[in-house]
């Protein structure tokens, strides 16, 4: 029994001395450019996404809409910064959409907007008759 205690004490002294030697050794330094780059990257700190100094983006949107007075065509646009409505046009972010310009549609036309758009493309009244069948 005595012999076991002596062995345990010697073992404990050996382990403690080896631990102190391990702590006393200088830290290893990277010797290659790759190891130096890895160590440098490991020391970088990534900024927090919850940083109150960085404002969160605010997405601004707007839209404009109107009906053309002669044809009843519906105009619509959407933008990021500015949207305005005029009597015969809508403008969003500087891009204007105008009411189609054409002769007055025939009476009782079920879709005067389509007829007017057909005429604005340069087709004749006869060619556009399919888009404006009288009731």
- Tell how far CA 58 is from the center of its chain: 11
Backbone angles phi, psi at 117, to 5 degrees: -65, -40
pLDDT reported for residue 135: 47
For 79, 125, 130, the CA distances from 62, given in Å and listed in that order, are: 5, 37, 36
Own/partner long-range contacts of 104-109 (Cβ < 8 Å, ≥24 apart): 104/70, 105/71, 105/132, 106/132, 106/134, 107/134, 108/134, 108/135, 109/133, 109/134
Could you tell me the two tokens for 79?
A: 């933008």
Classify the C-alpha dihedral 43-49-55-59 as positive or negative.
positive
- Ordered per-residue pLDDT tens for the chain, 135 residues: 565 565 555 555 555 555 544 455 555 565 677 767 777 766 666 556 666 666 677 677 899 999 988 778 899 999 999 999 999 999 999 999 998 877 777 777 778 888 888 888 888 888 887 777 654
pLDDT reported for residue 59: 72
pLDDT reported for residue 96: 94
CA neighbor of 40 nearest in space, from 50, 30, 25: 30
Angle at CA 103, nearest 5°, toward 102 and 104?
Answer: 115
pLDDT reported for residue 127: 85
DSSP-derived secondary structure for 19-31: HHHHHHSPPP---
């Amino acid at each position: 029994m005595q012999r076991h205690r002596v062995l345990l004490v010697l073992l404990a002294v050996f382990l403690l001395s080896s631990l102190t030697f391990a702590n006393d050794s200088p830290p290893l330094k990277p010797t290659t450019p790759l190891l130096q780059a890895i160590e440098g990257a490991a020391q970088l700190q990534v900024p927090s996404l919850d940083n109150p100094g960085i404002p969160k983006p605010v997405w601004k949107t707007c839209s404009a809409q109107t009906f053309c007075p002669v044809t009843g065509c519906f105009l619509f646009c959407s933008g990021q910064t500015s949207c305005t409505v005029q009597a015969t046009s809508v403008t969003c972010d500087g891009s204007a959409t105008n009411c189609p310009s054409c002769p007055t549609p025939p009476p009782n036309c079920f879709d005067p907007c389509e007829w007017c758009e057909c005429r604005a493309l340069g087709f004749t009244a006869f060619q556009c008759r399919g888009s404006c069948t009288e009731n």
